[in-house]
Chains A and B, each alone.
Chain A
Amino acid sequence: MKRLTFSLIALLALFATLLSACGQVTPAAQPTAAPAAPTAAPVQSTTDGMAITGTVTLWHAYGTGSAEEKAINILIDRARAAYPNATINVLQIPFDQIFNKFNNEVSSGGGPDMFIAPNDSLGSQIRAGVLADLSEYQSRLTDVAPTGVAGMSLNGKLYGIPESFKAVALYYNKSKVVNPPATTDELLALVKGGNTLVLNQNAYHNFGWLQAFGGQLMDASGKCIADQAGGAEWFAYLKALKEVPTVTFSTDGGQADSLFKDGKADMIINGPWVLGDYRAVLGDNLGVAPMPGAIKPAGPLTGVDGFYVSINSQNVAGAVALAMFLTSPESMKVYVDEAGHVPVSTKVEISDPLVQAFAQASATGVPRPQIPELDNYWGPFGDAMTKVLDGGADPKAAVTEACALMNTANGK
């Protein structure tokens, strides 16, 4: 019996260890009983008097080995050196998982203190109640462009510290393309003349052509109206491109990047987040031009990257202080130089013409709507594109079907 009791206890102990190991999603929140830290740490003008204290866990979704990852690592090292008393944990999450992982972990009481991502899911995350309200810090964002603050806000409340603007533009290889195409017709003529083009086959990267052909995705009530104007022409144009043998539509972002970087494609439509990586390969041959327009200028979705704080964070002040440090003009300079980010700060001079081109693309793009109706855009329109490009479906019918599906999902 003695042996039995012993094994029982041993088993229970093992089980308890397992349980506690499973439960430990977040690093144990350290008691932030260190009010001495602000005096100990050098107060920097860059953080506006805010000092990083306690433990801050940051998630980012920059690719392994990318220029963006290099930039954040430089900045985190600087923050650690400036605030030796603070503990800064950084974890990289693949981009296609960051929103879901954050939502799931925060919903179950864990997750990081903050994460940086585009405002793709801001609206739905606010509605899901996973983000902390940062309105009290809004007065500190004095040298941030108003559209940057607007991109982090919903219903008059601030939910993030903006970092950079992003909108797609046309990258081209100067050794192959001398004059970048200004219109969709010019682009079509170029590829018919032998220049190669790779396009990401999804509902995001070529969204700008909806406006170019005179269309609009949703009306003020969130009802899809792309089938009334522009949508059919947009898809018909993609289909016309697809029929040219020098154009590749790729459903794999890595493959599309490779084709451009290997010189197998002369042009690609992509965002500023790959600027550093493309420049590393193409050097001075890399050019950036606005996405070609048609009857109107193209209107790519303009997003804002920013730092968001979890509703569960025990150290909101420390997290915001880190975000302010990472978006200070000095830090922004690193983001611009290393990764080609378009800064939201008005105090940062952009000398690089490529980054300037992206700044212009962001300024003329369509601000990403934060209404829940947009959540139901991606599936139907992505599928419609597949049906048109891979299945030979009629562009008008495909857009009409996608719009109807989106409105059904939204109950419109």
Chain B
Amino acid sequence: MATTNPELTSQPVRAPRSALSEGWKQLRTPLIYLLPALIIMMLITFYPLAFQVWMSFTDYGVIKEEGKQTLNPFGPNGTTPPNYRPAQYVGFRNYLDIVTNNPQFVARLGGNFDFWRLLAFNLWWTFSNVGFHVALGVIIAVLLNVEGLWGRKIYRAIYILPMVLPNIVVATVWRNMFDDQYGSINQLINLLITPFGFDPVQIRWFNQIQDPIPGIGLPLSYYAMLIANIWLGWPFMTIVATGALQSIPKEMYEAASIDGATGLQQFWRITLPLLRPAMVPAAMVGIVTTFNLFHVIYFMSGGGPLGRTEIMVTQAFKLINVNQLYGVAAAFSVIIALVLIPIFLITNKISRATESYDV
């Protein structure tokens, strides 16, 4: 069935058929093979997606004022829960509440919600992190790729470490390291400054409201999380860059040095352009992951102080877990997707990452 198609070999002697039925004949076998995967995808991917979009147009959730739930019509033993009522269509209300910062909606969330500030911070958080990841990743990969470097395998084993530790463990450990009373970071700073006659400091990394750098509207907790996330993110980029470095032919460097190019020129003219096809898709993965990086924000700053380091996913999580507004949270998730898709398309266009690349 797989090697020779009897339909094709007998085709010339048969009566001509319509293109449509011909197309169906061609498609039938692949479709049958794809069917199991399609059914599974329908159930576990497309159905929840469609359900969430539907949810975003309703008041789905725990409705405290009326003593009614809209969550699940199926109770134990096939009964309907006594407090169930079907969700009601509310049109674009959830979306409008979010993007217009409806004052009552904002007050119900505690007053710290500002959609446009949230979006701006989320984008800044993403690009500042990925920038550091890529730059550090390439630099460290190039340094570790130096000819005749002693102990290379040990270094490469060590830098896998941040990747194999679970994110939640990393975030919690960093949270404790930045603790104002017991944290090792403050202790280290004091160890370094007290011998010079300075008073010991007790920096409140996650609580300080004043911006450490005036004029840049970013709280101290952003910088603390940036440090933690740089530590977490560069090894992946180094692994990708190391792989790409191995594939650059040595002859190119030899030819360049015969032409009199310096080491720096070789880096800018050979190494970087040839790393690009590998680094750009990796950076795009990094952008999408960092944009939705829940653990670091939630377990380190919790979005504080005053919600200034909240990103979209942590806010969406709070909408469900604290406020139990499932419909609003669904609308929020759709907005996240609407933000991410253009970013993806634009980076893809600029980088031509999914096209073939010729040197």
Contacts and interface: CB of A to CB of B under 8 A. Distances in A.
A126 B108 contact: no
A390 B71 contact: no
B109 interface: yes
Contacts, number: 122
Contacts of B110: 378-380, 382-383
B302 to A, nearest CB: 9
Interface in B44-91: 62-69, 71-72, 74-77, 81-83
Given A251-B207, A312-B75, A104 B324 contact: yes
Contact of A129 (B67, B72, B112, B204): B67
A92 interface: no
B208 interface: yes
B215 interface: no
Interface stretch (A3-11, A47-55, A226-234, A319-327): A3-11
Contact of B76 (A26, A380, A411): A26
A409 B104 contact: yes
Given A129-B82, A311-B83, A387 B306 contact: yes
Interface in B303-333: 304-306, 321-322, 324
Q: A interface, how many residues as a size bin?
A: 35 or more
B35 to A, nearest CB: 8
A50 to B, nearest CB: 23
Interface string A44-65: 0000000000000000000000
A130 B306 contact: no
- Chain B interface size, as a band, is 35 or more
Contact of B65 (A15, A29, A110, A372): A372
A314 B322 CA distance: 28
A89 interface: no
Interface string A333-374: 000000000000000000000000000000000000000100
B76 A103 contact: no
Main secondary structure of the interface of B (DSSP, over half): loop
B67 A312 contact: no
Interface in A236-280: 248, 250-252, 255, 258-259, 264
A133 to B, nearest CB: 11
Nearest to A124: B64
A128 B62 contact: yes
Contacts of B206: 251
Nearest to B113: A379
A156 interface: no
Interface string B205-246: 011111000000000000000000000000000000000000
Nearest to A7: B36
A108 interface: yes
A386 B207 contact: yes
Interface in A94-151: 97, 100, 103-104, 107-110, 124, 126-130
Given A4-B32, A372-B65, A311 B209 contact: no
A259 to B, nearest CB: 6
A135 B109 CA distance: 34
A11 B107 CA distance: 48
A408 B104 contact: yes
A409 B81 contact: no
Interface string B166-199: 0000000000000101100000000000000000
Contact of A255 (B32, B81, B179, B305): B179
A127 B65 contact: yes
Nearest to A123: B64
Contacts of B36: 7-8, 11
Contact of B181 (A104, A255, A375): A255
Nearest 7 A/B pairs, CB to CB? A379-B110, A129-B83, A409-B107, A391-B209, A129-B67, A108-B72, A408-B107
Interface of A: 4, 7-8, 11, 15, 26, 29, 97, 100, 103-104, 107-110, 124, 126-130, 201, 248, 250-252, 255, 258-259, 264, 311-312, 314, 372, 375-376, 378-380, 382-383, 386-387, 390-392, 402, 405-406, 408-409, 411
Interface of B: 32, 36, 40, 43, 62-69, 71-72, 74-77, 81-83, 103-104, 107-112, 179, 181-182, 204, 206-210, 304-306, 321-322, 324
